[in-house]
Protein backbone atom coordinates (compact mmCIF):
# COMPACT_ATOMS: atom_id res chain seq x y z
CA UNK A 1 0.00 0.00 0.00
CA UNK A 2 1.07 3.62 -0.46
CA UNK A 3 1.43 5.90 2.53
CA UNK A 4 1.30 9.60 3.29
CA UNK A 5 2.99 10.63 6.51
CA UNK A 6 2.04 13.99 7.99
CA UNK A 7 5.06 15.25 9.89
CA UNK A 8 8.60 13.92 10.19
CA UNK A 9 9.28 14.47 13.87
CA UNK A 10 10.04 11.85 16.49
CA UNK A 11 6.94 9.91 15.42
CA UNK A 12 6.48 10.44 11.68
CA UNK A 13 10.21 10.46 10.98
CA UNK A 14 10.63 7.11 12.67
CA UNK A 15 7.58 5.23 11.37
CA UNK A 16 7.55 6.86 7.93
CA UNK A 17 11.30 6.32 7.68
CA UNK A 18 10.99 2.64 8.58
CA UNK A 19 8.24 2.17 5.96
CA UNK A 20 10.28 3.92 3.27
CA UNK A 21 13.40 2.00 4.26
CA UNK A 22 11.42 -1.24 3.79
CA UNK A 23 10.63 -0.19 0.21
CA UNK A 24 7.07 1.12 0.61
CA UNK A 25 5.83 4.08 -1.39
CA UNK A 26 5.90 6.82 1.29
CA UNK A 27 5.18 10.53 0.88
CA UNK A 28 6.00 13.01 3.63
CA UNK A 29 4.21 16.31 4.14
CA UNK A 30 6.68 18.58 5.90
CA UNK A 31 6.84 22.12 7.19
CA UNK A 32 9.98 23.51 8.79
CA UNK A 33 12.21 20.61 7.70
CA UNK A 34 11.05 20.48 4.07
CA UNK A 35 14.10 22.12 2.45
CA UNK A 36 16.55 20.16 4.56
CA UNK A 37 14.92 16.76 3.97
CA UNK A 38 14.51 17.33 0.21
CA UNK A 39 18.20 18.08 -0.01
CA UNK A 40 19.72 15.72 2.57
CA UNK A 41 17.09 13.04 3.07
CA UNK A 42 16.16 11.47 6.38
CA UNK A 43 18.49 9.90 8.94
CA UNK A 44 17.17 7.50 11.55
CA UNK A 45 19.34 6.16 14.35
CA UNK A 46 17.51 3.20 15.81
CA UNK A 47 18.20 -0.03 17.68
CA UNK A 48 16.40 -1.65 14.72
CA UNK A 49 19.41 -0.71 12.53
CA UNK A 50 20.51 2.84 11.63
CA UNK A 51 19.68 4.02 8.12
CA UNK A 52 19.91 7.11 5.98
CA UNK A 53 17.35 7.64 3.20
CA UNK A 54 19.14 9.95 0.78
CA UNK A 55 16.08 10.47 -1.38
CA UNK A 56 12.74 11.05 0.27
CA UNK A 57 9.38 11.96 -1.29
CA UNK A 58 9.07 15.25 0.58
CA UNK A 59 6.41 17.86 0.00
CA UNK A 60 5.79 21.31 1.42
CA UNK A 61 2.24 21.46 0.07
CA UNK A 62 -0.45 18.80 0.10
CA UNK A 63 -1.53 20.00 -3.38
CA UNK A 64 1.57 18.40 -4.85
CA UNK A 65 1.15 15.02 -3.18
CA UNK A 66 -0.32 11.93 -4.82
CA UNK A 67 -3.41 10.33 -3.34
CA UNK A 68 -2.52 7.35 -1.16
CA UNK A 69 -3.99 4.24 0.43
CA UNK A 70 -3.17 5.12 4.03
CA UNK A 71 -2.46 8.44 5.77
CA UNK A 72 -0.50 8.41 9.04
CA UNK A 73 -1.27 11.55 11.05
CA UNK A 74 1.89 12.26 13.07
CA UNK A 75 1.59 15.99 13.68
CA UNK A 76 1.15 17.31 17.17
CA UNK A 77 -2.51 17.99 17.91
CA UNK A 78 -1.61 21.67 18.25
CA UNK A 79 -1.25 21.68 14.44
CA UNK A 80 -4.55 19.97 13.71
CA UNK A 81 -5.93 23.14 12.09
CA UNK A 82 -4.07 22.16 8.89
CA UNK A 83 -5.40 18.62 8.83
CA UNK A 84 -8.71 19.03 7.02
CA UNK A 85 -7.25 20.80 4.00
CA UNK A 86 -4.49 18.20 3.65
CA UNK A 87 -6.81 15.20 3.96
CA UNK A 88 -9.20 16.57 1.34
CA UNK A 89 -6.34 16.62 -1.14
CA UNK A 90 -4.55 13.34 -0.47
CA UNK A 91 -7.49 11.03 0.26
CA UNK A 92 -9.44 9.04 -2.28
CA UNK A 93 -12.89 7.75 -1.34
CA UNK A 94 -11.32 4.59 0.12
CA UNK A 95 -8.19 6.03 1.75
CA UNK A 96 -7.75 5.09 5.41
CA UNK A 97 -6.53 7.65 7.96
CA UNK A 98 -4.61 6.41 10.98
CA UNK A 99 -4.29 9.03 13.72
CA UNK A 100 -1.21 8.49 15.90
CA UNK A 101 -1.65 11.60 18.04
CA UNK A 102 -1.87 11.76 21.82
CA UNK A 103 -5.04 12.40 23.76
CA UNK A 104 -8.73 11.65 23.78
CA UNK A 105 -10.90 11.59 20.63
CA UNK A 106 -8.05 13.00 18.57
CA UNK A 107 -9.51 11.04 15.62
CA UNK A 108 -12.50 13.37 15.50
CA UNK A 109 -10.84 15.98 13.28
CA UNK A 110 -10.03 13.35 10.63
CA UNK A 111 -13.44 11.70 10.97
CA UNK A 112 -15.10 15.06 10.30
CA UNK A 113 -13.39 15.10 6.89
CA UNK A 114 -13.35 11.49 5.66
CA UNK A 115 -16.04 9.92 7.86
CA UNK A 116 -15.51 7.89 11.03
CA UNK A 117 -15.62 4.56 9.16
CA UNK A 118 -12.38 5.37 7.39
CA UNK A 119 -10.46 6.37 10.50
CA UNK A 120 -8.21 4.30 12.73
CA UNK A 121 -6.51 5.45 15.90
CA UNK A 122 -3.19 4.37 17.34
CA UNK A 123 -1.34 4.82 20.62
CA UNK A 124 2.42 4.94 20.28
CA UNK A 125 4.68 3.76 23.05
CA UNK A 126 8.10 4.92 22.06
CA UNK A 127 11.13 6.79 23.20
CA UNK A 128 12.25 8.83 20.24
CA UNK A 129 13.47 12.38 19.64
CA UNK A 130 14.07 14.57 16.64
CA UNK A 131 17.65 15.67 17.28
CA UNK A 132 17.92 17.91 14.20
CA UNK A 133 16.16 18.53 10.85
CA UNK A 134 15.65 15.20 9.13
CA UNK A 135 17.45 13.40 11.94
CA UNK A 136 15.59 11.08 14.29
CA UNK A 137 17.08 9.35 17.29
CA UNK A 138 14.98 6.36 18.30
CA UNK A 139 16.09 5.22 21.73
CA UNK A 140 13.76 2.48 22.90
CA UNK A 141 10.34 0.87 22.60
CA UNK A 142 8.23 1.75 19.58
CA UNK A 143 4.98 -0.21 19.73
CA UNK A 144 1.87 1.09 18.00
CA UNK A 145 -1.38 -0.34 19.36
CA UNK A 146 -4.23 0.60 17.03
CA UNK A 147 -7.90 0.03 16.43
CA UNK A 148 -11.02 1.09 14.58
CA UNK A 149 -12.46 4.49 15.49
CA UNK A 150 -16.06 4.19 14.28
CA UNK A 151 -18.62 2.93 16.77
CA UNK A 152 -19.94 0.60 14.06
CA UNK A 153 -16.54 -1.11 13.69
CA UNK A 154 -15.33 -1.22 17.28
CA UNK A 155 -14.96 -4.50 19.11
CA UNK A 156 -13.28 -6.52 16.41
CA UNK A 157 -10.07 -6.61 14.42
CA UNK A 158 -10.96 -5.81 10.83
CA UNK A 159 -9.38 -7.28 7.74
CA UNK A 160 -8.00 -3.86 6.76
CA UNK A 161 -6.34 -3.53 10.17
CA UNK A 162 -4.55 -6.81 9.52
CA UNK A 163 -3.38 -5.56 6.10
CA UNK A 164 -1.90 -2.40 7.63
CA UNK A 165 -0.38 -4.39 10.49
CA UNK A 166 1.30 -6.72 7.97
CA UNK A 167 2.86 -3.77 6.11
CA UNK A 168 4.12 -2.15 9.29
CA UNK A 169 5.46 -5.39 10.71
CA UNK A 170 7.43 -5.96 7.49
CA UNK A 171 8.94 -2.51 8.09
CA UNK A 172 10.11 -3.71 11.56
CA UNK A 173 7.47 -1.68 13.38
CA UNK A 174 6.12 -3.32 16.56
CA UNK A 175 2.45 -3.18 15.65
CA UNK A 176 -0.46 -4.50 17.67
CA UNK A 177 -4.03 -4.54 16.37
CA UNK A 178 -6.49 -4.03 19.22
CA UNK A 179 -10.23 -4.45 19.50
CA UNK A 180 -10.92 -1.54 21.78
CA UNK A 181 -9.31 1.75 20.80
CA UNK A 182 -11.20 3.67 23.46
CA UNK A 183 -10.01 1.58 26.41
CA UNK A 184 -6.50 1.72 24.98
CA UNK A 185 -6.60 5.52 24.82
CA UNK A 186 -7.88 5.77 28.40
CA UNK A 187 -5.08 3.49 29.57
CA UNK A 188 -2.53 5.75 27.98
CA UNK A 189 -4.21 8.82 29.46
CA UNK A 190 -3.89 7.23 32.89
CA UNK A 191 -0.14 7.77 32.53
CA UNK A 192 -0.09 10.88 30.37
CA UNK A 193 -2.45 12.97 32.47
CA UNK A 194 -0.59 12.69 35.79
CA UNK A 195 2.97 12.65 34.53
CA UNK A 196 2.76 15.10 31.64
CA UNK A 197 0.65 17.47 33.70
CA UNK A 198 2.50 17.35 37.01
CA UNK A 199 5.90 17.46 35.30
CA UNK A 200 5.05 20.88 33.85
CA UNK A 201 3.32 22.39 36.87
CA UNK A 202 5.98 21.12 39.29
CA UNK A 203 8.87 21.38 36.81
CA UNK A 204 9.88 17.89 37.79
CA UNK A 205 10.97 14.63 36.21
CA UNK A 206 9.33 11.28 36.92
CA UNK A 207 11.78 10.41 39.67
CA UNK A 208 11.23 13.68 41.55
CA UNK A 209 7.50 13.07 41.35
CA UNK A 210 7.70 9.46 42.51
CA UNK A 211 10.11 10.08 45.40
CA UNK A 212 8.05 12.94 46.87
CA UNK A 213 5.19 11.72 49.10
CA UNK A 214 2.80 14.50 48.07
CA UNK A 215 3.52 14.44 44.35
CA UNK A 216 3.39 10.65 44.09
CA UNK A 217 0.07 10.59 45.95
CA UNK A 218 -1.20 13.23 43.58
CA UNK A 219 -0.14 11.11 40.59
CA UNK A 220 -2.08 8.21 42.05
CA UNK A 221 -5.16 10.32 42.79
CA UNK A 222 -5.12 11.63 39.21
CA UNK A 223 -4.91 8.05 37.91
CA UNK A 224 -7.90 7.12 40.04
CA UNK A 225 -9.85 10.01 38.56
CA UNK A 226 -8.92 9.06 34.99
CA UNK A 227 -10.00 5.49 35.72
CA UNK A 228 -13.36 6.81 36.99
CA UNK A 229 -13.68 8.99 33.90
CA UNK A 230 -12.96 5.98 31.68
CA UNK A 231 -15.58 3.94 33.52
CA UNK A 232 -18.13 6.73 33.16
CA UNK A 233 -17.36 6.76 29.42
CA UNK A 234 -17.85 3.00 29.18
CA UNK A 235 -14.29 1.68 29.44
CA UNK A 236 -13.66 -0.45 32.51
CA UNK A 237 -9.96 -0.58 33.41
CA UNK A 238 -8.73 -2.93 36.12
CA UNK A 239 -7.52 -1.26 39.33
CA UNK A 240 -4.24 -3.17 39.18
CA UNK A 241 -3.27 -1.09 36.14
CA UNK A 242 -2.71 1.84 38.51
CA UNK A 243 -0.41 -0.13 40.79
CA UNK A 244 1.52 -1.36 37.78
CA UNK A 245 1.97 2.12 36.29
CA UNK A 246 3.09 3.56 39.63
CA UNK A 247 5.57 0.72 40.10
CA UNK A 248 6.87 0.92 36.54
CA UNK A 249 7.31 4.69 36.73
CA UNK A 250 9.08 4.39 40.08
CA UNK A 251 11.59 2.05 38.45
CA UNK A 252 12.17 4.17 35.34
CA UNK A 253 15.30 6.24 34.88
CA UNK A 254 14.42 9.90 35.57
CA UNK A 255 12.38 11.00 32.59
CA UNK A 256 11.27 14.45 31.40
CA UNK A 257 7.81 14.09 29.86
CA UNK A 258 7.25 15.20 26.27
CA UNK A 259 4.98 17.96 27.56
CA UNK A 260 7.72 19.25 29.84
CA UNK A 261 10.13 19.26 26.87
CA UNK A 262 7.57 21.16 24.78
CA UNK A 263 7.04 23.64 27.58
CA UNK A 264 10.75 24.23 28.15
CA UNK A 265 11.34 24.68 24.43
CA UNK A 266 8.57 27.27 24.21
CA UNK A 267 6.39 25.05 22.02
CA UNK A 268 2.63 24.91 22.56
CA UNK A 269 1.60 22.01 24.80
CA UNK A 270 -1.10 19.49 23.78
CA UNK A 271 -3.33 20.63 26.62
CA UNK A 272 -6.66 20.40 24.81
CA UNK A 273 -6.21 16.98 23.25
CA UNK A 274 -4.80 15.27 26.34
CA UNK A 275 -6.60 17.14 29.15
CA UNK A 276 -9.44 19.21 27.71
CA UNK A 277 -10.93 16.45 25.56
CA UNK A 278 -10.70 13.84 28.33
CA UNK A 279 -12.23 16.24 30.83
CA UNK A 280 -15.12 17.18 28.55
CA UNK A 281 -15.84 13.54 27.73
CA UNK A 282 -16.00 12.72 31.41
CA UNK A 283 -18.22 15.72 32.21
CA UNK A 284 -20.54 14.72 29.36
CA UNK A 285 -20.72 11.24 30.88
CA UNK A 286 -21.71 12.72 34.24
CA UNK A 287 -18.45 12.39 36.21
CA UNK A 288 -16.42 15.42 37.26
CA UNK A 289 -12.73 14.62 37.83
CA UNK A 290 -11.87 17.62 40.00
CA UNK A 291 -8.10 17.22 40.03
CA UNK A 292 -7.85 16.53 36.31
CA UNK A 293 -9.93 19.65 35.80
CA UNK A 294 -7.61 21.67 38.01
CA UNK A 295 -4.52 20.40 36.22
CA UNK A 296 -6.17 21.22 32.90
CA UNK A 297 -6.79 24.81 33.98
CA UNK A 298 -3.28 25.23 35.34
CA UNK A 299 -1.76 23.95 32.09
CA UNK A 300 -4.09 26.10 30.00
CA UNK A 301 -2.81 29.09 31.98
CA UNK A 302 0.82 28.03 31.60
CA UNK A 303 0.37 27.48 27.86
CA UNK A 304 -0.17 31.24 27.63
CA UNK A 305 1.79 32.63 30.59
CA UNK A 306 5.13 30.85 30.73
CA UNK A 307 7.12 30.63 33.91
CA UNK A 308 9.85 33.27 34.02
User: Which residues carry out catalysis?
Assistant: 188
Q: Buried (b) or exposed (e) across 16-54, using 16+ Cβ within 10 A?
A: bbbbbbbebebbbbbeebbebbbebbbbbbbebeebebe
Rounded to whole angstroms, the Cα distance separating 226 from 222 reads 6
Q: How far is the CB of 231 from a copy of itself (least distance, A)?
A: 17
Q: Are 38 and 56 in contact (CB under 8 A)?
A: yes
Contacts of a copy of itself in 175-194 (CB under 8 A): none
Name the strand (E) or helix (H) holding 12. helix 12-21
| Stretch of residues binding a copy of itself (CB under 8 A), selected from 35-43, 59-67, 70-78, 211-219 | 211-219
Can residue 250 be called a binding residue for a copy of itself (CB under 8 A)?
no
Q: How far is the CB of 136 from a copy of itself (least distance, A)?
A: 28
* Three-state DSSP state, 28: strand
Dihedral of the CA atoms 261, 194, 216, 299 (nearest 10)? 60
Q: How far is the CB of 209 from a copy of itself (least distance, A)?
A: 8
Can residue 224 be called a binding residue for a copy of itself (CB under 8 A)?
no
Q: Where are the beta strands (DSSP E) in 83-236?
A: 91-99, 119-132, 135-148, 175-177
Can residue 221 be called a binding residue for a copy of itself (CB under 8 A)?
yes
Q: Which of 29, 68, 204, 278 binds a copy of itself (CB under 8 A)?
A: 204
Q: Which of 2, 129, 208, 235 binds a copy of itself (CB under 8 A)?
A: 208
Q: Which of 184, 201, 210, 233 binds a copy of itself (CB under 8 A)?
A: 201
Count of residues in contact with a copy of itself, rule CB under 8 A: 26
Residues forming the site for a copy of itself (CB under 8 A): 201-204, 208, 212, 214-215, 217-218, 221, 290-291, 293-298, 300-302, 304-305, 307-308
Amino acid sequence: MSYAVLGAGALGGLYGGLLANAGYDVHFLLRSDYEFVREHGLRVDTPLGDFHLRTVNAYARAEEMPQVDVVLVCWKTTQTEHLAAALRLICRSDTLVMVLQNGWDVERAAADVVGAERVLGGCCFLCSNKVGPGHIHHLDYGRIAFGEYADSLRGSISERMLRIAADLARAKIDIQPAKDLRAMRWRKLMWNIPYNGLSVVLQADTRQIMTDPHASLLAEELMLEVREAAAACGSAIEASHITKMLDDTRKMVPYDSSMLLDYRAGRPMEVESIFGNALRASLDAGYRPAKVEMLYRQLAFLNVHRLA
